[in-house]
A and B are shown apart, each in its own frame.
Chain A
Amino acid sequence: MSKKINLTLKIWRQKNRHAKGRFELYKADAIDTEMSFLEMIDVVNEKLTKEGQEPIAFDHDCREGICGMCGAVVNGQPHGPQRATTLCQLHMRYFKDGETLVIEPLRARAFPVVKDLIVDRSAFDRVLQAGGFVSVKTGCAPDAQTLLVSKHKAETAMDAAQCIGCGACVAACPNGAAMLFVGAKLTHLNVLPQGEVEKDARVHRMVKQMDKEGFGSCSNEYECQAACPKKISVSVIARMNKDHLRSSE
């Protein structure tokens, strides 16, 4: 049941992309354990605003774990300590009274900090622009039922397609690699017959763009899958490796 806890927050503040950032200490007192993590920051922000200080900037939107907007590193872990949970769905009952929480932005060279806890993840969009689609134009699709997809393939594709593009995998990876994100999109599209036609070109273009964006490479640390709020498995990375090796481009 609900109770109140007091916390100390050590939060990364950075004015903009070019400014130097630093940690600042804040008190979060009488936090209701039923609050979500973002609601806890809301409370701190209301207080800061009233004191005339600039509130902490953080990305969020749906607050139900699907838009992929939220995400910060709490005590070294992207999206905080609870597995398979986005920051917006993490609740304060997972923390103890008196705890100090260190909150930082997702860090990677390809994700420059925009302000405080907000980072620029547009690199993900550009990787998708390179090939994360099926080249079908509106209007030229045949009847949906003419194409059968085995249940197994449909489920494998769906498992991978659940990725919300939050970037936690990159932030968790000691190499700042985007393998889980890119692998998830490749698995989604490459296992389906609709996407198979362009498979070779897709894997090449996306990997090339991924490298160009400055993401690291994979040394199979598997931190990414542990941090992924959608439980995307590193099997998508293996599949990407295989497709890349076999592709004719």
Chain B
Amino acid sequence: MLVLASITKKQIVAATGLFLVLFVLGHLTGNFFIYGGSEAYNGYAHHLNSLRPVLNVVEAGLFLIFLLHMSLTISLLIENIQARGFRRYAVDRPVGERSWASRLIPFTGTYILGFVIFHLFDFAFVSHFGARSLINGIDRGLYGAVYNAFKDIRHSAAYIIAVSFLGFHLAHGVQSLIQTFGFENPVWSPRIRVLSVWIGGLVALAYSSIPLFILLYVKS
């Protein structure tokens, strides 16, 4: 069996992480069409679906990337827990550089996984037309489905929590992947760490803005 060096594994995690980040950003951009109203949003979705054979490949790739990212992070996580030895210190007081974002990354990651599954059943694997898409009796397609979902405050809240976790994940993840690929520069490395937190925060805010927008601003 081919044994991958720890660093190689880590770099695969980083590479897949990078693809996932790009997806998250792309998906965000697409979802921003919601601010253009139902026509714009459905048009975008329709346009996407018209690329079908290609899109299938992209989706399959995305799935594989997800799988790779998860399986490797999980295997690294288990190895790392073992590498610590049989127990941690009696006093848990990190020396100081460790962020909560990095401490919680396995949890935020798992939460994201749960969310994505829920999300796929929410929007992707279901019909984009029909009962869930009706707004005031008119079928608004995918827009309607999203609209109806987010009008429910609990549904919105679940999304907002999920994307906050995503932001957290990225606050550590973005700078981490840059370090893992080996970029280092005395001036830029510290800045990238700050930037990473901003990216995480902005992604969380930008995604949250969608349910909030629907919940608070859009009148039926």
Q: Which residues in A have some Cβ–Cβ distance to B below 8 Å? A: 10, 23, 73, 75-78, 102, 104, 107-111, 172, 174-177, 204, 207-208, 210-211, 214-223, 225-227, 234-235, 237-245
Shortest A114–chain B CB gap in Å is: 14
A223–B94 contact, CB under 8 A?
Answer: yes
Q: A220-B179, A223-B97, A239-B184 are in contact. List 8 more A-B contacts (CB 8 A).
A: A75-B93, A76-B92, A107-B84, A107-B89, A176-B85, A207-B7, A217-B9, A235-B189
Shortest B21–chain A CB gap in Å is: 15
* Complex A-B: 7 CB contacts under 8 Å: A76-B89, A108-B83, A214-B82, A218-B7, A221-B98, A234-B179, A238-B183
Q: A75-B93, A220-B180, A226-B95 are in contact. Are A245 and B83 (CB under 8 A)?
A: no
Residues of A with C-beta under 8 A to B11: 241, 244-245
Beta-carbon contacts under 8 Å, B3-40 to A: 5-11
Residues of B with C-beta under 8 A to A222: 97-98
In the complex, what distance in Å separates the CA atom of A214 from the CA atom of B82? Answer: 8
Residues of B with C-beta under 8 A to A244: 5, 7-8, 11, 182
In the complex, what distance in Å separates the CA atom of A111 from the CA atom of B86? Answer: 11
Beta-carbon contacts under 8 Å, B104-134 to A: 105
Q: Look across to chain A and name the residue whose beta carbon is closest to the beta carbon of B75.
A: A217
Residues of B with C-beta under 8 A to A75: 91, 93
In the complex, what distance in Å separates the CA atom of A102 from the CA atom of B90? Answer: 7
B10–A235 contact, CB under 8 A?
Answer: no
In the complex, what distance in Å separates the CA atom of A89 from the CA atom of B88? Answer: 25
Q: Look across to chain B and name the residue whose beta carbon is closest to the beta carbon of A235.
A: B184
Interface string of B60-86 (1 = CB under 8 A from A): 000000000000000010011011111
In the complex, what distance in Å separates the CA atom of A204 from the CA atom of B116? Answer: 37
A107–B87 contact, CB under 8 A?
Answer: yes
Residues of B with C-beta under 8 A to A175: 80, 83-84
Q: A222-B97, A239-B184 are in contact. Are A216 and B90 (CB under 8 A)?
A: no
In the complex, what distance in Å separates the CA atom of A177 from the CA atom of B92? Answer: 18
Shortest B3–chain A CB gap in Å is: 8
Q: A176-B85, A223-B94 are in contact. Are A241 and B80 (CB under 8 A)?
A: no
In the complex, what distance in Å separates the CA atom of A225 from the CA atom of B186? Answer: 14
In the complex, what distance in Å separates the CA atom of A127 from the CA atom of B102? Answer: 28
In the complex, what distance in Å separates the CA atom of A219 from the CA atom of B97? Answer: 13
Shortest B174–chain A CB gap in Å is: 11
Q: Look across to chain A and name the residue whose beta carbon is closest to the beta carbon of B76.
A: A217
Residues of A with C-beta under 8 A to B96: 223, 226
B83–A177 contact, CB under 8 A?
Answer: yes
Q: CB < 8 Å: which of A102, A172, A207, A220 contacts B172?
A: A220
Q: CB < 8 Å: which of A208, A226, A237 contacts B97?
A: A226
Shortest B5–chain A CB gap in Å is: 5
B85–A227 contact, CB under 8 A?
Answer: no
B179–A109 contact, CB under 8 A?
Answer: no
Residues of A with C-beta under 8 A to B102: 219-221
Q: Look across to chain A and name the residue whose beta carbon is closest to the beta carbon of B175.
A: A220
Ranked nearest first, the 3 interchain pairs of A and B with the lowest CB-CB distance are A242-B182, A216-B83, A76-B93
Q: CB < 8 Å: which of B6, B82, B176 contacts A220?
A: B176
B159 at the interface (CB under 8 A from A): no
Shortest A40–chain B CB gap in Å is: 18
In the complex, what distance in Å separates the CA atom of A208 from the CA atom of B3? Answer: 10
B181 at the interface (CB under 8 A from A): yes
B98–A107 contact, CB under 8 A?
Answer: no
Q: Look across to chain B and name the residue whose beta carbon is closest to the beta carbon of A10.
A: B90
In the complex, what distance in Å separates the CA atom of A245 from the CA atom of B183? Answer: 11
A210–B184 contact, CB under 8 A?
Answer: no
Shortest B18–chain A CB gap in Å is: 13
Q: CB < 8 Å: which of A23, A110, A174 contacts B80?
A: A174
